[in-house]
A and B are shown apart, each in its own frame.
Chain A
Amino acid sequence: MAEEFVHLAVAGTEGQDLEINMGPQHPSTHGVMRFVVKLKGEVVESVQPHCGYIHRGIEKMCESLSYPQIIHLTDRMDYLSAHINNEAVCLAVEKALNIEVSDRIKYIRTIIAELNRIASHLLWWSSMCMDMGAVTPYFYAFRDREKILDIFEETTGGRLLYSYNCPGGLMNDIHPNFQKRVKEFIPYFRKSFKEYDELVTGNVIFQNRTMGIGLLTREQAIAYGVTGPAGRGSGFACDVRKRAPYSAYDKVQFNEILYNEGDSFARYKVRMDEMLESLKIIEQLIDNIPEGSYVEKMKAVIKLPEGEYFQQVETARGELVVHIISDGNKTPYRVKFRSPCLSTLSVMDLISRNQKIADLIAIGGSLDLVIPDIDR
């Protein structure tokens, strides 16, 4: 089945040194990224990523758009955490204008963000297992992901790209069926999760292929700025939801998942446990959504006062930071997104050294890169 499709760029001449091009097209769902891998026999010497194949100039485009119009572009950065990206910009704008959104908006934003996190981790799980060679988890995960996408479609109208958050609140109120569907989903997913554990996590073949592979120490994670599950798998406690809570995260109890081994299996376990923690958060919030308005009254034309505004959120891949520099006009002067996947990509070379070429797939899968997030 499909793993990385390999082209020969430069065939080795003498000895065993070889340069392999893992070209921009991949048969799996990784996106367009080119890796030039230098090999010595079977052992990897260096991995050089060549990114930029999907650079669309989002940050530059934002400079000519008004603040509500920026939202639809942030959907398309890390498209698997689209809601969370939207939320980041909305929170930054609301912080700048000193608007306090109602509790209802905060609760709904948190529930939807956690559902989005589960959907993103499901897709990561399915494509990592497919890279390893087990194809069936792909279908199981997508079947469960369909349920989440149905919940989103009923409320927001979109399945992958939502633009549901807007500065000041939400575009529409949640659909009357929202709570019912979410409450049906929670026990269903717990049951499915047990199956995932039986099928893949406990499997001795899978464990042998991921344990001890791609070690990232905590010091390296901190030095390179690897946040998100990849960093937490090395013991770096960087969950923004705990360190700098936003929306309704300070009102819920959940654990920050940390594993100290730093290998691929630890990163895998972090994401699996995070899915259960998200379920816990949703359970605590879904019954208690307070009444209130779903959007605050905003001016027709939003103008941020001069200054720099800053908001960090925890996407499914790590810490996304939105930095808006405004000079008082209705379009921002500069918008900068600090994407989590770019920092995670920077350790790819470091942790692939001296591993076998066959393990490169396990490492790439466990780091969970979404390429549009790297290129923006």
Chain B
Amino acid sequence: MGLKSYLSGLFKGFYSLLVGLRVTNSYFFHPSRIVTQQYPENRKTLKMFERFKGEVILVHNENNEHRCTGCGICEMNCPNGSIEIISKMETGEDGKKRKAIDKHIYHLSMCTFCGLCVKSCPSKALAFGNEFEHAVFDRAKLDKVLNKEGSVLMKGVE
């Protein structure tokens, strides 16, 4: 190849290398640009986004009441059977027998977080919770019962 192209190729190549070095050099001398978050130490200040899909929960208010009527629509809409509804018959205050929730079983190990259960619940009982630390040693712990102990249906929910 000609001398001119040899030299120009050499200088252009060398200059491109220097430009690259300048970029990484500037990162070394500005350690304030480090983005690592020290995870287990920052648990107290860690705040997830409010819509973050950590797990599915049954919303309980401060009186331990939830809104689930045991209708089973979430079970029908779930694509892979992560929800099992066990309902029982209950006599209400006005003497009528109607369906109520006994156990709302949620298989966290199978859930794909598609959101169809949350969206299709007619009484808006389900929601996504922000808890994301689900690692356990025993797989049975991932089958959760969503309605808490002693919780009752909120008044006025259809």
**A: which residues have CB within 8 A of B?**
65, 68-69, 71-73, 136, 143, 146, 150, 153-158, 161, 163, 166, 171-172, 175, 195, 198-200, 202-205
Contact = CB atoms under 8 A, between A and B. Distances in A.
Contact of B19 (A143, A146, A202): A202
A136 B116 CA distance: 40
Given A72-B112, A171-B119, A199-B20, A157 B79 contact: no
B49 A198 contact: no
Which of A153, A171, A204 has the most B CB atoms < 10 Å from its CB? A204
A1 B83 CA distance: 44
15 contacts: A65-B79, A71-B114, A72-B116, A154-B49, A155-B51, A157-B49, A157-B53, A157-B128, A158-B113, A161-B112, A175-B51, A195-B23, A198-B20, A199-B23, A204-B14
A70 to B, nearest CB: 8
Nearest to A73: B79
A153 B49 contact: yes
Nearest to A196: B23
Given A68-B116, A198-B23, A204 B79 contact: no
Contacts of B52: 153, 157
Interface in B102-129: 112-116, 119, 128
B62 to A, nearest CB: 25
Closest 10 interchain pairs by CB?
A204-B13, A72-B114, A69-B79, A157-B53, A157-B51, A163-B114, A202-B16, A154-B49, A198-B19, A199-B23
Contacts of A146: 35
Q: Specify the main secondary structure of chain B where it touches its partner.
A: helix
Contacts of A163: 113-115
Nearest to B18: A198
B31 to A, nearest CB: 14
Interface residues of B, number: 24
B36 to A, nearest CB: 10
Contacts of B16: 202-204
Interface string B2-16: 000000000011101
Nearest to A166: B119
B20 A203 contact: yes
A145 B23 CA distance: 19
Contacts of B79: 65, 69, 72-73
A198 B51 contact: no
A8 to B, nearest CB: 36
Contacts of B14: 204
Contacts of B35: 143, 146
B51 A154 contact: yes
B24 interface: yes
B51 A199 contact: no
Nearest to B53: A157
Query: Chain B CB within 10 Å — which of A136, A166, A202 has the most?
Result: A202
A156 B49 CA distance: 10
Contacts of A161: 112-113
A291 B77 CA distance: 30
B49 A204 contact: no
A368 B1 CA distance: 35
A354 B107 CA distance: 52
Nearest to B130: A157
B134 interface: no
Interface string B80-113: 0000000000000000000000000000000011
B141 interface: no
B22 interface: yes
B49 to A, nearest CB: 5
Which of A68, A146, A172 has the largest number of chain B CB atoms within 10 A?
A: A68
A24 B77 CA distance: 36
B128 A204 contact: no
Given A69-B77, A72-B112, A198 B128 contact: no
Contacts of A205: 17
